[in-house]
Structure 1
Amino acid sequence: MHSSLVHMTLAHNILSGSLPLEVGKLMHLVVFDVSYNNFSGEIPTTLVDCSNLEYLHMQSNSFHGTISRNLASLQIIKELDLSSNNFTGKIPRDLEKLQFLRFLNLSFNDLEGEIPTTGIFGNASQISLIGNKKLCGGIPELDFPSCPIIKGKNEGSIRLLLYSPQYYHLPF
């Protein structure tokens, strides 16, 4: 299936089920908006094959799973809205590398861990992460709590081996 479809908006319907893997065959897709539906399941792995994608709006559905680091393959993406779903896990650091990304909304999911600080994450006016109570860190303007310092098992102890000079035959 080859398609020259560039704009697909299915927003504000009562569509349900999971998105088919075939969505990745829409190679020329620039805008993909399935927001405000009842979609569930994970983001299709084939979505990253839509290399012309600039606007991806999937907010207000019931998508779940982790946010794939493969989304960073969408190198010219400008807007990414995955808010108000059921995503879990950490924010993929690879999203920091998306140099054309101007709007990122991951709010109201169940994300956890440290918020990246470079790329789009360095500009609080371009991202929204509210409603993710297990996130920490990030730039101060985001106003998230600091991440806890995780102490290592052997913290505070140094293994030191001392050797007596009588065991060495130094050449001088």
Structure 2
Amino acid sequence: MQLSGQIPESLKLCRSLQSLDLSDNDFSGSIPSEICFWLMYLVALDLFSNKLSGSIPSQFVDCKFLNCLAL
């Protein structure tokens, strides 16, 4: 299944999420700068093979537990 559109703000409802794999989809737009605030316990984030644009948000330095980032 190919998901498309922007990375949804509704992810903020998953505050305890530790691993998020959204790879191999058709997400577009930029990575939300709030993603580390929404998912404060995130350890792994995989956004590889999408249609994302823009720069990596500087707020990623606030992802205290993030140790795996695939773009």
TM-score normalised by the chain length of structure 2: 0.80
Letter in 2 for 1:78: Q
> RMSD value over aligned CA atoms?
1.8
Q: Give the CA deviation at 1:111.
A: 0.2
Q: How does 1:72-111 map to 2 (within 5 A)?
A: 72-97=12-37, 98-111=39-52
Q: Which is higher, the Rg of structure 1 or of structure 2?
A: 1
Confirm whether residue 114 of structure 1 aligns to residue 67 of structure 2: no
Q: Give the CA deviation at 1:119.
A: 2.8
Name the CA distance, whole Å, in 2 between partners of 1:107 and 1:74.
Answer: 21
State, as a whole percentage, how many aligned pairs show the same letter: 33
The equivalent residue for 1:128 is 70
Give the conservation status (yes or no) of the 8 Å contact 2:5–2:28.
yes
Q: Give the CA deviation at 1:114.
A: 1.9
Structure 1 gap ranges (5+): 1-38, 40-61, 130-172
Name the CA distance, whole Å, in 1 between partners of 2:21 and 2:9.
Answer: 15
* Number of aligned residue pairs: 67
Residues 67-100 of structure 1 show CA distances to partners (whole Å, capped at 9, x for unaligned) of: 1122122110000000011110111112121221
SS in 1 for 2:55: strand
Residues 116-167 of structure 1 show CA distances to partners (whole Å, capped at 9, x for unaligned) of: 132339x5x41111xxxxxxxxxxxxxxxxxxxxxxxxxxxxxxxxxxxxxx
**RCO greater where, 1 or 2, for CA within 8 Å and sep 6 or more?**
2
Name the CA distance, whole Å, in 2 between partners of 1:92 and 1:116.
Answer: 7
Confirm whether residue 67 of structure 1 aligns to residue 7 of structure 2: yes
- Segments of 4+ moved more than 2 angstroms: 117-121
SS in 1 for 2:31: coil
Name the CA distance, whole Å, in 1 between partners of 2:63 and 2:42.
Answer: 7
Structure 2 gap ranges (5+): none
